[in-house]
Structure 1
Amino acid sequence: MLRPEDFFDLHDFSHREIFEDLEYVWDALKRLADYIQDVMTPDIEGSVMDGAYLIGDQIQIGEGSIVEPGAYITGPTIIGKNTVVRHGAYIRGNVLIGDECVVGHTSELKGAILLNQSGAPHFNYVGDSILGNHVNLGAGTKLSNLKILKGSVKVKIGDTVYDSKLRKFGAILGDRAETGCNSVLNPGTLIGPDSLVYPNATVSGYVPPNSIVKLRQTLEIVTRESRA
């Protein structure tokens, strides 16, 4: 239930080795920095437009990818093929991005893995998190990665609590999961494949595959008093 293959189809992911022989899917985050250093081949095969900022020499950008003006990328970072990093995006390092992804305006990535065709397209924060294939984050979605009370992030599933042994750990979203606008995933949240999160929802713990996290709110419209 908590292995990488329970969340992702890894057959077409060029960096599937990072998930090999893991009991818990979040353990890939512990490997991330070393893995990037091991496989990094600093090279810019894509198009970096004037006005984009690439900081350091530990950056790899695949064929067909585009980095728009105003984007800011620090290494070590690997970006696959045909991915778009839009104006105002901020990639802070130790980031592994697959093919045909989108990192959009004012979206920030740090210590993250994005599988193929996933997107953080508008005003997203993706910290110490993993997005599966075809995942889409609604505008303003935040994957919170640090507990207010500090300590390692724990994952609760029913009555069982798993200690990730990670001080910073955001969320795992399985293949084709989606979030609505302005949703927040608390540290250690796991969203199963093909699941949806309603806009403005705040989610913790484990959401099984093929589920919908619904948010119900009550609105009241009253007559405005005269200001005369």
Structure 2
Amino acid sequence: MQLIPGPFTTAPADIRLAPDYYFQPDDLGPYIMRLLKSCPTVFDIKSTMAADLDHLAAAGLYAEPRGVVEDGALLQGEVIVQAGARIEAGAQVVGPALICTGAIVSAGALIRDHTVIGPGCRIGFGAEITRSLLIGHVFMKHPCFIGDSVIGRRVNVGSFCSTTGLRCDRGPVAEPAIEEITVTLGGQRITTGQTKFGAVIGDKVALPAGTVLSPGTLIGPGTVIYPRDHIGGFLPAGSRVR
């Protein structure tokens, strides 16, 4: 398999880079379903979503009816709260962001810019999310961090789990980041086209408490991860990791 440059504009040369490898797109609401189907690879999702959130009307999102925003919730910038969603008092959401039907953002949670919280997600106290897509029914009920990532349906993120989106193997970390994140598949290095990229976690994966993911981690759906402190690289669908 040859080196594949990013960002991608054509179909992936490796099925393990396709959104369909990680996620079942059905019954996720029109926006998320359209987003996943429009992206040739998982590396396209974050940039496509960010462009949509920067132009909400063009993405057809302003037509959505508004859900519940409790008194004491702090919303900054453009935040769309779909019908049936709720942002509780004490939660903070910094737009642009989309909170989908049935999602609950609880007191003490922080949702930062360019994030989509999919239908039925539960975001609890101390959870922080930025520049990420949570596809649907993701549970983040405890202090943890997800950044620059795509998280599949029915993923459980345990206490004190974290993605990491920056390379730190070449001296001091620069901000803004300048080192591109790469992944390795079949012994070949594949570029992502991004200097911040955390993880792609497929459907029905549970991260045990305290798990830290390296930049560019790809976890296939149905993977079982036993308690450990660090995960990285590519884990095929249905893996068991001790």
Task: State the TM-score, normalizing by the size of structure 1.
Answer: 0.88
Q: 1:201-212 residue pairs with structure 2 within 5 A?
A: 201-212=229-240
Q: 1:1-228 residue pairs with structure 2 within 5 A?
A: 1-14=16-29, 15-36=32-53, 37=55, 38-39=58-59, 40-41=61-62, 45-56=66-77, 58-148=78-168, 149=170, 151-214=179-242
Partners of 2:108 and 2:65 lie apart in 1 by 19
Give the root-mean-square deviation of aligned CA atoms: 1.6
Partners of 1:111 and 1:70 lie apart in 2 by 21
- Maintained 8 Å contact 2:128/2:146: yes
For residue 21 of structure 1, report the CA deviation from its aligned partner. Answer: 4.6
Of structures 1 and 2, the one with the larger relative CO (CA 8 A, separation 6+) is: 2
For residue 31 of structure 1, report the CA deviation from its aligned partner. Answer: 1.1
Aligned AA (1:105):
F
Partners of 1:155 and 1:45 lie apart in 2 by 39
How many aligned residue pairs are there? 213
For residue 98 of structure 1, report the CA deviation from its aligned partner. Answer: 1.2
Partners of 2:232 and 2:183 lie apart in 1 by 9
- Maintained 8 Å contact 1:107/1:125: yes
For residue 11 of structure 1, report the CA deviation from its aligned partner. Answer: 1.7
C-alpha distance after superposition, 1:198-222 (max 9, x if no partner): 23330111011111221xxxxxxxx
- Maintained 8 Å contact 2:201/2:220: yes
Could you say which structure has the larger radius of gyration?
1
User: Identity of aligned pairs, percent?
Assistant: 30
Aligned AA (2:197):
F
The 3-state SS of whatever aligns with 1:41 is coil
Partners of 2:208 and 2:43 lie apart in 1 by 23
- Maintained 8 Å contact 1:183/1:197: no
Aligned to 2:10: none
* Structure 2 unaligned blocks of 5 or more: 1-15, 171-177
C-alpha distance after superposition, 1:169-207 (max 9, x if no partner): 000000101110010011100010011222333011101
Aligned AA (2:212):
V
Q: Once structures 1 and 2 are overlaid, which stretch shifts more, 42-51 or 62-71?
A: 42-51
For residue 42 of structure 1, report the CA deviation from its aligned partner. Answer: 7.7
Aligned AA (1:99):
P
C-alpha distance after superposition, 1:92-147 (max 9, x if no partner): 11011111101111111111001111122211111010111111111111011111
Task: State the TM-score, normalizing by the size of structure 2.
Answer: 0.83
For residue 23 of structure 1, report the CA deviation from its aligned partner. Answer: 3.4
- Maintained 8 Å contact 2:64/2:83: no
- Maintained 8 Å contact 2:114/2:132: yes
Partners of 1:152 and 1:104 lie apart in 2 by 32
